Amino acid sequence: MSTTGTPQVPAPLEQHVWPTSADLTPTGELVLAGLAATDLARDFGTPAFVMDEKHFRDRARLFRDSFTEAFAAVGAEVDVYYAGKSFLSVAVARWAREEGLRVDTCTGGELAVALRAGVPGAEIGLHGNNKSDAEISRAIEAGVGRVVVDSFAEIDRVAELARDAGRDSSTRVPVMVRVTTGIHAGGHEFISTAHEDQKFGVSLTGGQALAALRAVLDHPELELLGAHTHIGSQIQDAAAFEANARKMLALRAKLETETGYLLPELDLGGGYGIAYVPSETPIDVPALARDLAGAVGSVCAELGTTVPRISIEPGRSVVGSTTVTLYTVGVVKPVTLDDGSVRTYVSVDGGMSDNIRPALYGAEYTARLANRTGSAETIRARVVGKHCESGDIVISDIELPSDVTPGDLLAVPATGAYGRSMASNYNHVLRPPVVAVADGAARVIVRRETEDDLLALDVG
């Protein structure tokens, strides 16, 4: 428990966790892009995702400029794809394109949003381990710049659907083969995606990836654009990306040796880490770009090959830190534990329906009162949601002001990625809106669901 007494000034924000526009008034109220949290809560209700548009645009440009500059030094061009699975809406897809990014999608729904936003098909990618024929056909019809195939069976299916669409050797469908390199990186095992025992990609082991690349070359309707890899999520160490790139470049060289075909492009995926809590450090994007470009350039020189065009897919690292979830505090309940200590359960008006990550991955977050400073004396607290589930925990263990009370606003930062995109209607709770803020103005870019929305689907 920290020291007691009435604070004279609010504790400062840990800026690497919060949006760049976040600030505090002298009384401790959170301000986002010049807008007070209490005003945002009054105008849009809670829970609500509040997204800093300028922060998103700045992050997009940071990736675009850092990777373009770094790879230019080794003679390579770069495409940056915004990974839409982290969070995608029509407005966000437009922002990404306006800042020079392409859009990566992994379902027909995400593809529909990107197309609705006006993103040209050639600037969209589609991947996924179990695409339907309808999704593949729509991608072909839209002229997507790449279909990332995930299995031998899918190579044949894409070729068949390409023929059905009238494609031939002069109008080929560009494809990449997703490769599992065996590099294990990231946080929870469920978000590490390049080890062998999982559903994505074709393994390097036993020459399977090489065989898959050769299989694409055997189909005249398909253009082998390159190979794709993704090693995990929330990765903080650039060494994992460098090791993965080395394996992919070796595969590229081996394919050229055996077939004479040199892959024009490699997609090195994403998974770059951000800070969710003050003790974490977000990955240094310019340094990552320089290290990765240096590794790619060196390996290509060792192998005697030209440097391929490179693509990357940041998602969380663009959008994650842009967004704060505003909640209203409801029940505050001290609970005496078996050891005699007390934990105070602070219930908010959302929970696992707007942030499933703590329940799914054990993900950690921080929070603070958003409407005032609060007492300097703190209590051991657990922030929980309103759902009928004991695992409905937003933050398992946190120090909050001892005078936290019903009606207070609680702000949880770094919820831009996989909050709204993984949201559900568990217990028929309505999914929150996404409110974009910029230059002292706010606008809804995804509206709050209503009971009419829920009942419209229930045809009983």
Which residue is it, tokens 């849009």?
A: 44
Task: State the average pLDDT over residues 325-329.
Answer: 98
Residue 266 and residue 308 in contact, taking contact as beta carbons nearer than 8 Å:
yes
The pLDDT assigned to 242 comes to: 87
To the nearest whole number, what is the mean pLDDT of the chain? 93
Beta bridge partners of 329: 348
Strands (E), 351-408: 368-369, 378-384, 393-401
Active-site position among 337, 388, 456, 457: 388
Whether 152 shows a pLDDT value over 70: the answer reads: yes
Task: Give how far Cα 150 sits from Cα of 192, 336, 386, Å.
Answer: 16, 51, 39
pLDDT, average across residues 306-323: 97
Whether residue 388 lies in the annotated active site: yes
Residue from 290, 213, 202, 302 nearest 249 by CA? 302
Question: For residue 248, which of 154, 312, 199 has the smallest C-alpha distance?
Answer: 312
DSSP 8-state symbol, 456:
H
Residue 377: what pLDDT? 95
- pLDDT score at 239: 84
pLDDT tens digits for 12-22? 999 999 999 99
Q: What would the pLDDT profile of 395-448 be if each residue is shown by its tens digit?
A: 999 999 999 999 999 999 999 999 999 999 999 999 999 999 999 999 999 999
Please give the average per-residue pLDDT across 155-182, as a whole number. Answer: 96
Q: Tell me the average pLDDT across 164-189.
A: 85
CA distance 384 to 404: 14
Q: Note the pTM of the prediction, 2 decimals.
A: 0.94
For residue range 329-354, what is the model confidence (pLDDT) as tens digits?
Answer: 999 999 999 999 999 999 999 999 99
Whether the pLDDT of residue 4 is over 70: the answer is: no
Model confidence at 233, pLDDT cuts 50, 70, 90, reads: confident
- pLDDT tens column, 83-124: 999 999 999 999 999 999 999 999 999 999 999 999 999 999
Can you give the pLDDT at residue 432?
A: 98
pLDDT of residue 182: 84
Q: What percent of the chain has pLDDT over 70?
A: 95
Kindly report, residue by residue over 357-397, the tens digit of the pLDDT.
999 989 999 999 999 999 999 999 999 999 999 999 999 99
Name the helix (H) or strand (E) containing 327.
strand 323-336
> What is the radius of gyration, based on Cα positions, of the chain?
24
Measured distance CA(121)–CA(303) in Å, rounded: 34
- Please report the DSSP string for 24-91 in residue order: E-TT--EEETTEEHHHHHHHH-SSEEEEEHHHHHHHHHHHHHHHHHHHHTTT--EEEEEETTS---HH
What pLDDT band is residue 188 in, cutting at 50, 70 and 90? very low
Residues 6+ apart with CB under 8 A from 338: none
Instruction: List Cβ neighbours of 1 (8 Å cut-off, separation of 6 or more).
Output: 377, 378, 379, 380, 399
Per-residue confidence at 5, pLDDT binned at 50, 70, 90? very low
